[in-house]
Amino acid sequence: MNLDRFVQARRAAAALGALVGTLALCTACVGASTPGTTSTGTGTVVAKTSSTGTGTGGATGGGATTTSGTGSTTGSGGGTGGTTGGTGGTGGSTSNAGSNTCLVRYLNGTVGASQGTAGSVYVNIVFKNLNNAPCTLYGYPGVSFGKGGPGTGVTLTQVGAPADKNPAVAKTLVTLQPGGYAYATLQIGDAGNYPSATCNPTPTTYLMVYPPNTSNQLYIPYTSTACTSSSVVTLHVEAVQAGTGG
């Protein structure tokens, strides 16, 4: 009886030991698999971090693109500034003309000093301020020949092409004090320089003059011969200057 109990006790102990060993082995298996899972998880996290990092890089790149786009827009704005600056330049001419441009009704126009050269004559168109306040002139007058007018019984009409601008004199703002003068030199080419069939010459009686930056004309008596053909330009005018020109 005692021997049987001893044997049974040993068997129970052996079975218990086997069970404990099995449990220990399973625990070791579980413990061994955990780092793998953690490693895989870490790898996934790293992959996500890398992906996120790439995404962030992409976003940064996108931001750079946006910044570049903004810069381009600013450039366009500059262009726009450059274009507004150009428009502003045209406005600058108006500004240079001053806000007190001489009105035709307060100007007297005459032909002043003249000088002849081969094939041309140079005359000064002189403007006098008849007003009791200063006024300004800036740039080129418009000049053309006229035929008819007072004392002829014929309505005054323009003959031929208007004067081209001669840039020999720089444009400057000229202030005419009350009773003051400004002038512009006009070159008149000889109509005889051109074939009659091309020029179709005719006598003229007036110079029709628009003072700079005005829309009304002065009619200045001046007899000459002009080409009626608008394709022949015999007049060239300089910008106004202070004084009478001699």
Q: pLDDT band at 152, cuts 50/70/90? A: confident
Q: What letter does residue 113 receive in the DSSP assignment?
A: E
**Which residues of 60-191 form beta strands (DSSP E)?**
107-117, 120-129, 135-138, 142-149, 154-159, 164-165, 173-176, 181-189
Angle (CA) 144-122-217 rounded to 5° is: 30
Q: What is the pLDDT of residue 151?
A: 80
On the question of pLDDT at 1 being above 90, the answer is no
The model's confidence at residue 98, banded by pLDDT at 50, 70 and 90, is low
243 versus 10: the higher-pLDDT residue is 243
Statement: residue 9 has pLDDT above 90 = no
Let me know: does 210 contact 230? Beta carbons within 8 Å.
no
Mean pLDDT of the chain: 74
Dist. CA 174–CA 140, nearest whole Å? 12
In this predicted structure, what is the pLDDT of residue 246? 86
242 CB burial (10 A radius; 0-12, 13-18, 19+): middle
What's the CATH number of domain 104-242, 2.60.40, 2.10.270, 3.10.620, 1.10.3470? 2.60.40
Sequence letter at residue 214? T
pTM of the model: 0.61
Q: Let me know how long the chain is.
A: 246
Quickly list DSSP for 93-110: HHHHH-S-BPPGGGEEEE
Quick one: pLDDT at residue 28?
Answer: 41
Separation CA 226–CA 207 (nearest Å) = 11
For the chain, the helix, strand and coil percentages under 3-state DSSP, each to the nearest 5? 45, 35, 25
Least confidently predicted of 71-80, 132-141, 144-153: 71-80
**H-run or E-run covering 204:** strand 201-210
For the chain, give the percent of residues with pLDDT over 90: 56
Q: 190-218, pLDDT tens digit by residue? A: 999 999 999 999 999 999 999 999 999 99
* Percent of the chain whose pLDDT exceeds 70: 61
User: Which residue ranges make up each domain of the chain?
Assistant: 1-97, 104-242
Residue 146 has pLDDT above 90, yes or no: yes
